[in-house]
Amino acid sequence: MKFPDMRGVGGDMRHPRFLALAAAVVLGVGTAPAVHADSREDPWILGKISNMTLEEKVGQLFATNVYGESGDTTAPADVAANQAMYGPGIENGDDVIAKYKPGAILYFRWSNNLNDPVKTAGLSNDLQRAALAQPAKIPLLIATDQEHGAVYRLDEPFTAFPGQMALGATRSAGHALTAGKVTGRELAALGINQDYAPVADVNVDPRNPVIGVRSFGEDTGLVSELTRASVRGLQQGGVSAAVKHFPGHGDTVNDSHDSVPWIFHTREEWERIDAPPFRAGIAAGADMIMTAHVVMPYLQSDCDVQTQEGCDPATLDPEIMTGLLREELGYDGVVVSDSLSMQGVRDKYGDDRVPVLALKAGVDMLIIVDDPASTISLDVAYNAVLNAVRSGELTEARIDESVHRILSLKKKRGFFDGDQQVDEGKVLRTLGSRAHKALARAVADHSVTLVRNEAGALPLTDTGQRVLVTGYRNVAPPSVKIPPAERLAKAISDLGVTTELFETGASPGAATVAAAVDKARASDVVVVATVNTATSASQRTLVNALLATGKPVVVVGARNPYDIADFPGAPAFLATYSWERPAMEAAARVLFGRTAPTGELPVTIPAADGSVLYPYGHSLSYRPSPGRSNT
């Protein structure tokens, strides 16, 4: 392995911390250099750590999921799922906590944690009681991914916001702060004290399959400003923010869930494009930074691009996790891995090596969640770390360093000041309140972007029109609800417009397209919702067939604004960046002139030949004029 050129991460190569890092890389020693000075070590936390067993310390390093609506669930399906994940004898969340004493639990809809908000609050209370019943008495971080837009875990009655790229279209740090505060308050009401958000990746590649509208946009300054505001909002709302995905996941055409993305940013490009939003999140006091399973070879001095020798994902690379994040950016909060079940971190090493290498790189907390495509398990990872300490590959001092950070976060958030129980009776009064919904509506109204409006096609008249609303609906399990056409049709109908809904699914076949065309011919206006048409030939066929009817057709891009490049013949195109209900309701108001479109493109829209079709910042508008005819 090449000796790392520490000049590549700044500073003096003679500095003891650089020398320690170099030794760790070359010799395989598992101790990343400590970065918190002795003066900042809390005596109470040090005393807590000194009384913990090694097994308790290692448990704090893991975040995992459990199945069930209660900590002691006896539901057969949930018990079977927990046993399949953890082995015989582990039937529920209480059992997982008793055996592994994890530092965090993650909630998902597919693991039956989020079916009912009152039950979710009860589950949080159960799990916290189980954690405090353990000898170390350390409360849990309870986390979820509530980014809004394309990635959300909690649906109605939780207040939905249109998502990060929609916030980028508003150009408003105030809106980002508001969305964060509301989200934080509603999560906290359920006993969820951690949100794996915001996404600080700068989406500079329109083909990016994993980030896209999860990003605030392509402009580093905008992403930095809104990352800062979002962190402050979430943490003021009562939950810890986790800025992700370091060192940046915005310039790739690969999804790290399925493969290892390579990002060929030079050091100068990384400093200019990727680093500023993370600096902004750190400056805002982010409690956590989440890693990216990406290879950035020009940030890794021991990576040989030709042979790929020494080219590890950032999560496993000391130069990035310690050299860049700790030393250069000065971050001393908790670093959490993205899920170690993802293929992007598992291509090169065995399941027992990945968690150890992540800790050696400088990561503090390791996410292990159930994934049918993965063989890694919490039991394998937990025992791998224990064995690495017992063998000397990792020192107990290195484990203590991460436990210190995790306990510091929990103490700062007041976890040790009470029992962390939430009032289950107040949940429904907090979620989806009239005030919160009004704030979400305001954000949505300011985000809708009118990208194309040839010959004044919009606004539509709201009298005497028969409007066909058609297009996308997913056929995924209930964990992902993507019904933009349905939500849009309901919103248009609520305006008093005669509306027919004909959903075409995610991949309409010939018979479905023909039926949609027949309905279009019997209508006065067609509104069609699309989701990522660049990867869906069937959706493109549908829209082009509708355009060929000669009827007025409005395309509503309910996720990627890039869809407009596929429909040069469409007279009107609205970008909503999201299929959430507030976004669809805002689109309906814009379509019929009840509100003016005010959003600005937060990304550049390229044409098929690579030229610029619509530039960053492009927007059209008109004065609201209810009842205006579109003839």
Catalytic residues: 257, 338
Pairing status of strand 466-471 against strand 525-530: parallel
CB-based contacts of 63: which residues, under 8 Å, 6+ apart? 102, 103, 104, 105, 106, 141, 143, 336, 365, 366, 367, 368
Question: Are the CB atoms for 593 and 566 separated by under 8 Å?
Answer: no
Strand spans (E) along 2-55: none
CA 222 to chain centre: 18
The rounded distance, in Å, linking the Cα atoms of 575 and 555 is: 9
Integer CA distances (angstroms), 606 to 59, 323, 560, 610, in order: 48, 36, 12, 6
Largest Cα–Cα distance in the chain?
A: 79
Cβ neighbourhood burial of 328 (10 Å; 0-12, 13-18, 19+) = middle
Q: Which helix (H) or strand (E) holds 486?
A: helix 484-494
| Cis? peptide before 276, omega within 30° of 0 | no
Half-sphere exposure of 54 (CA within 13 A, CB side): 14
Integer CA distances (angstroms), 493 to 218, 471, 498, 500, 581, in order: 35, 16, 6, 9, 14
CB-based contacts of 291: which residues, under 8 Å, 6+ apart? 244, 245, 246, 314, 315, 321, 335, 336, 337, 338, 358, 363
The rounded distance, in Å, linking the Cα atoms of 487 and 581 is: 6
The rounded distance, in Å, linking the Cα atoms of 315 and 291 is: 6
Rg of the Cα atoms in the chain? 25
Q: Which helix (H) or strand (E) holds 282?
A: helix 275-283
Cβ neighbourhood burial of 493 (10 Å; 0-12, 13-18, 19+) = middle
Minimal CA–CA distance to 185: which of 152, 233, 122?
A: 233
Q: What are phi and psi of 470, to 5 degrees?
A: -140, 175
Half-sphere exposure of 553 (CA within 13 A, CB side): 27
CB-based contacts of 40: which residues, under 8 Å, 6+ apart? 332
* 528 strand-pairing partners: 470, 555
